[in-house]
Chains A and B, each alone.
Chain A
C-alpha cells in the first residue's frame, strides 16, 4: 500500500515561507493588519502542507525528489520526505503556527513589525529547509538561514536600551560582565554557532572528498566512502567534526554559552527558535546521520567511539546546564538553561542508540523527548512571556503569589513544568523514562553506570528547578515589586486570549500525550523502525512496549526528591532557601559558581575575545603602523620632497608619461609643447589618445 504525494508538496513546505518572507516588505505597504495576517497565513499554508505528508510517515515510507543544482560537480538539490523529516516538519510547522498567533498578542504595539515577521517567516522556511533537505549542502543553506534569523531576532530591539539587556547589569565574573545588550547577544550567538559550523564544514568537505557526494540517500546506498575513510583513520574524526556543527547549533558543551544570552530577544522568539525548533536542528542532524554511519560500517564497533562521544557530551551538558537553572533568578534564563539541559538528554539518547544492540529503541526515545520537549517548552516560554508582559519584570524574585491573578496561565504553566519535571502521566515522564531505560541497554557497564548516574541526578535537579520556578512565580507572598506596582494602580491580570490560547492548547497536548504515552511511543517507534529497516537497511529488533522497572522507579524517585525539596523551599515555604544556603558555606560557594556559569563564559571572553583584540592591537602597533607603514610613507615622501617640483610630483609623473607616450604619436607630437602648458585634465586626455594610437600603430 504505497502512499503517494505530489512531488511539489515537500518543496512548497519551505518555499512558501521563504518566498513569502521576501514579499513581506511589499505586502507591508497594504497596511499593518494585512501584513500580520499574511505572515501568519504563510506559516499556516506551510503547516497544512506538512500535514499532507503525514500519511507517508504513518506508512513508514519515504519520498525523494531531486533536481540538478551544480551540474559540473554532479551536485543535486532535493527533498527527502521520510518519517523522520515528516514528523519533524509537522512539529516545527504547527508549533511555529501557534507561536505566530501568540506573536500577534505579544508583539502588539511594537515598532518594526515588518522586520519581525520577515525574520520569523524566513526562519520557519529555513528550518523546514534543514528538515527536508536530502543533502548536506542544501541543508547548510537552511542551517545558516536559521542562524541568521536567530541573530536578527535576538538583536530585534537593536537600540540596545538598558531595559532590553539580558542578565543583571553590573554583575561580573572574573571582571567579565554577565549582562549583554541584544545586539551583543545576537552577535555572540552568531559567532559561537559559527565556530561549530567551521567544524561542520571540515566534516562534510572531507566526506565530500571521499564520497563525491553530499546526498544522504547516496551515502546510505553505497558504503565505499566509509571503508576508505576508516582506512585512512578519518572515519571517527569526520563524524565528530560533523557533530561539532550540532554542538554549536544545539548549544551543547562546550559551545553552550550563547543560548542563555539569546534570551535578550522577544519571548515569542525564544519560544520558537531557542526552545522548540532551531536548537533542535543539531539533534535532528544526529538523527539524520547516525543511521547512515551505523549502516555504512561493516562492524558497528568501528563507529562506537563517535556515539560514545555524543552520549557523553549530552550527559555533561544536561548536568551542567541543570546546575545553572537551579540558581538563576531570571525566569527566561531558567528556561534557557533548562532547554540546554534537555537537549543534552536528547543527545544522550541518540548517542546511546549506537552503544546498544537496540538502535531503534534509544533512537525513538531521543525523538520522543524532542517532540514532548518541543511542545511543553514552547508552552513554558509563551506562558513566561505572558507573565513578563503582565508584571514588567524578568526576575522571578520580583514575582510571587501570581496564581490567583493569572489562573489560566498558572494551570497551563504548571502542567508544562510538571512535564519538564517528569511527573507521571505527563508527556515528559514517558520520554525521559524511555531515555533512562535505553541507557540501561548500553553494553559497557562502566559507561552504563556513569551515564545513568548523571542522567538520574540531572532528573532530580530538573524536578527541583521546575517547581522552584513555579513556586517563585505563583506561590508565596507577592514581592515588594508587585505590591508597589499594585499600589501604583497597575494590576497584574491575565493575558489576552490570543496569547493564552496557544499555550493552553499546548498544555492540553502535553496532557494528552501524557495520558497516551505508550501509544505515542509505539507509533513513533513503528514509523521510524519501518523506515530505518527499509530505506537505510538497518537490522531492527521489533518488540512490544514494556515499562522498564528500574527506569520507572528511578524517575519517580527523582521526581519525589526534586519536587519535594522545592516544595519545602518555594511552595510550602517551610524553609527559607537563603538561610539554608548561608548556613552551609559549601552551598553558597556552589551557588556562586553556578551563577557565574562555571566561569566558562568569562574564560571564553578572556582568551578568545580579549585575546584576539589584544593580538590585533599588538600587531597593529608594532608591525603594521610601527614598521610597514613607516617604510611605506618614507618612499613617496622622499620622492616628493626631493623632486624639483616638490608637492607637485604628481604633475611630473603626468607630464612624463604623457610626453613619452605622445612622442610615439606622429599626429600629436607637434602639439606637445602647447599641451605641456595646459592643465592636468588635458594631459590625461592626450595620454588616452596616445594609448589608443599606440595599439593601433602596433596592430
Chain B
C-alpha cells in the first residue's frame, strides 16, 4: 500500500471521464459514484494520517516519484498539509451528496429561466458535466496541498482554478458568463504573479523541490520582488481587503454546493501555500513581511465584517463574511509565533466546516423558498426549517468562535499567538494591534446574530406556511457537518497534535 496518496489524488482525475459517461446514462444519481470516489480518497487521506502506534492523525507520509526534468513529483502529508487535505476531502465528499438534489433543482430552474424545453438527455448531460468537473476540482485542491514541488504545486493550482471556472460559468446564477470571466481573470492575475515568484525562487534557489530550495541563493536585490509577487498572488486568492472584489460575485453566483467548496476550502489554500512557501522555504523573507501581513489581516477582518452588514443577499453576506474570516487567517499568519500560525491553520478547518454549513443552509433556504435570497424577504423560518436553522446557528457559532464549536479553538490560538508574538518581541505596537483585532471580533457576532434574527426568527411570511426542511440527502450532510464542527471543538488534538510540534520546531517552541 505504498500508493495511498497517489491514488487519492489521481483516482478522481482518472475516473472523471467515467463519471461523465456514466452520468450521461444515470443523470443525477451519478452523484453516488462521485461520492464513492470522494469517500475512497478521503479514507486514504485519513488512513495515511494514522500512526503505526494507533494514535490518530499524527503520522507523516511522503511519497516521491522521479519527474524529470522538473525534479521530484511527491505527495507529502504532514502536520501542516493534513488539516487542509482532510477538510478539502471531507467537504467534497459531503457536498457530493448534497449536490444531487440541489443541482437537479438548479438545472430544472435553469431550463425554466432560459425557457428551454426540459429533456432527460439534457438534464443527464448537465449532471454528468457537473460531477466530472466536480471530482477534478476536488482532486486539484487535494493535489495542491500535498505537492512537494513548486511546479507540481502550480499545475494543481491551475487544475483547481479551471474546473471551478467552468462550474461557475455553466451552473451559476445571475450574470454568470460575466462573473465567471471576472473570476477567471482575477484569479489568473494572481496565479501569474504567483508563477513569476515561484519560477524566480526555483531558478535562484537551485531546485523546485521544496526541501532542496536554498533561500540563501536568492540575491538580496530580488527578495522583495519575490515576496511581493508571491504574496500578491496568494493574497489575491485569500481575498485580502482590496484584492477581494471578485469574491462576492463569484461566491454569491456560484451554484451553492460550489460556493460551499469555493468559499471555505479553496480560497484558504492561499494560506496553506503562504505558510508552505514562506515559513518553511523562505523564512527570512517571511520575517521581513509579517508586519505588513498582520496589518493587512486586521484590515481584512474589519472591512469584510463591515461589508457583511451592508448586504441583503444572503449568499453575498456569507461571501463577505468569508473575506473577514480570511482576515483572521492572514492575521494569525503574521504573528510570527507558533501558536498564531497553528490558529490560522486551525481556523481554515473551523471556517471550512462553519462556512460550508452556512452556505449549505443558505442553499436549503434558496431551494425550499423557490430562489429567495433577499434577507429582507425572509423571516420566521426557524419553525419551518428547524434542521436548516440549527445548522446555520452552529455554522455562525463556528465563525464567531464560540465554544463548543471548533471556531473557538482556532480563534483563541490565533489570538494567543498574536499576544505571544507581541510579548515575545516586546513590541507595544504589536500588543495594541492584537488587542484591537480581538476587540473587532464582536463585529462577527453582530452580523451573525442579526442574520439569524432576520432569517429564522420573527414573523413568517404568508407564502412560507407550507415550507419544510429539504430531503435527507441535504439534511444528513448538514447534520454530519454540525457533529464534526462540535467534535473538533471538543477534541482539538486531532488537528493540533501533529501540527504544533512541527511549527514549534520551526519557530522555536515554548520555554
Contact = CB atoms under 8 A, between A and B. Distances in A.
4 closest A-B pairs by CB? A72-B500, A620-B310, A632-B245, A187-B449
A689 B181 contact: no
A404 interface: no
A612 B458 contact: no
Contacts of A174: none
Contacts, number: 185
A148 B501 contact: no
Interface string B400-426: 001110001000100110011001100
Highest count of chain B CB atoms <10 Å: which of A72, A206, A684, A698: A72
Interface of B: 13-14, 16-17, 20, 65, 67, 70, 73, 125, 128-129, 132-133, 136, 155, 159, 162-163, 165-166, 169-170, 177-182, 184-186, 242, 245-246, 249, 303, 306-307, 309-310, 339, 380, 382-383, 397, 402-404, 408, 412, 415-416, 419-420, 423-424, 435, 438-439, 441-443, 445-446, 449-450, 452-453, 456-460, 492-493, 496-497, 499-501, 504, 510
Given A159-B458, A695-B155, A72 B501 contact: yes
Interface string A640-662: 10000001011001100100000
A650 B181 contact: yes
Contact of B453 (A70, A183, A612): A183
Nearest to B413: A73
Contacts of B435: 202
Contact of B13 (A72, A181, A685, A692): A692
Nearest to B439: A198
Given A71-B497, A72-B501, A202-B419, A191 B458 contact: no
Given A187-B450, A639-B181, A681-B125, 19 more contacts: A72-B499, A73-B496, A158-B457, A159-B458, A183-B457, A191-B442, A191-B445, A191-B449, A198-B438, A202-B435, A612-B446, A632-B246, A635-B182, A636-B185, A653-B184, A688-B13, A688-B17, A692-B14, A695-B155
6 contacts: A112-B383, A144-B404, A187-B452, A206-B423, A640-B178, A694-B155
A300 B182 CA distance: 64
B166 A684 contact: yes
A266 to B, nearest CB: 16
A212 interface: yes
Contact of B408 (A144, A628, A632, A635): A144
A617 interface: yes
B136 A688 contact: yes
Nearest to A653: B184
A657 B162 contact: yes
B458 A183 contact: yes
Interface in A200-250: 201-202, 205-206, 208-210, 212, 232
A405 to B, nearest CB: 36
Interface in A651-693: 653-654, 657, 680-681, 684-685, 687-689, 691-692
Nearest to A241: B435
B39 to A, nearest CB: 21
Contacts of A653: 165, 181, 184
A632 B182 contact: yes
A190 B459 contact: no
A649 B179 CA distance: 11
Interface residues of A, number: 73
A616 B307 contact: yes
Nearest to A627: B245
B178 A637 contact: yes
B340 to A, nearest CB: 11
A629 B245 contact: yes
B423 A699 contact: no
A137 interface: yes
Given A685-B17, A699-B67, A628 B245 contact: yes
Contacts of A23: none
Contacts of A137: 412
The B interface is mostly helix, strand or loop, or mixed, namely: helix
A239 to B, nearest CB: 16
B306 A612 contact: yes
Contact of A647 (B177, B186, B497): B177
Contact of B497 (A72, A208, A689): A72
B269 to A, nearest CB: 18
Contacts of A210: 423
Interface string A504-541: 00000000000000000000000000000000000000
A36 to B, nearest CB: 20
Contacts of A576: none
Most buried by A among B166, B170, B246: B166
Contacts of B504: 72
A148 B412 contact: no
A209 B439 CA distance: 19
B446 A191 contact: yes
A78 to B, nearest CB: 15
A631 B458 contact: no
A93 to B, nearest CB: 21
Contacts of B383: 112, 159
Nearest to A22: B486
Nearest to B386: A115
A547 interface: no
B357 to A, nearest CB: 16
A691 B166 CA distance: 15
A184 B454 CA distance: 10
A151 B67 CA distance: 58
A187 to B, nearest CB: 4
Q: Which of A628, A640, A650 has the most CB of B within 10 A?
A: A650
A471 interface: no
Contacts of A628: 242, 245
B105 to A, nearest CB: 20
A695 B496 CA distance: 34
B253 to A, nearest CB: 13
Contacts of A545: none
B35 to A, nearest CB: 19
A640 B449 contact: no
A458 interface: no
Give the one of B184, B403, B435 with max A CB within 10 A. B403
A691 B403 CA distance: 43
A232 B309 CA distance: 39
Given A616-B307, A681-B125, A201 B13 contact: no
Contact of B403 (A73, A145, A208): A145
Given A201-B412, A612-B446, A684 B129 contact: yes
Given A198-B438, A684-B129, A141 B310 contact: no
A626 to B, nearest CB: 12
A624 interface: yes
A72 B496 contact: yes
Given A624-B310, A650-B180, A692-B13, A160 B412 contact: no
Interface string A181-195: 101100100110011
Given A159-B457, A187-B449, A612-B443, A688 B423 contact: no
Nearest to A73: B500
A145 B493 contact: no
B164 to A, nearest CB: 12
Contact of A698 (B70, B162, B310): B70
B239 to A, nearest CB: 12
A628 B403 CA distance: 36
B370 to A, nearest CB: 23
Contacts of B446: 191, 612
Contacts of A616: 306-307, 309-310
A141 B420 contact: no
Contacts of A70: 492-493, 496-497
A576 B488 CA distance: 62
Contacts of B403: 140-141, 144-145
A71 B51 CA distance: 16
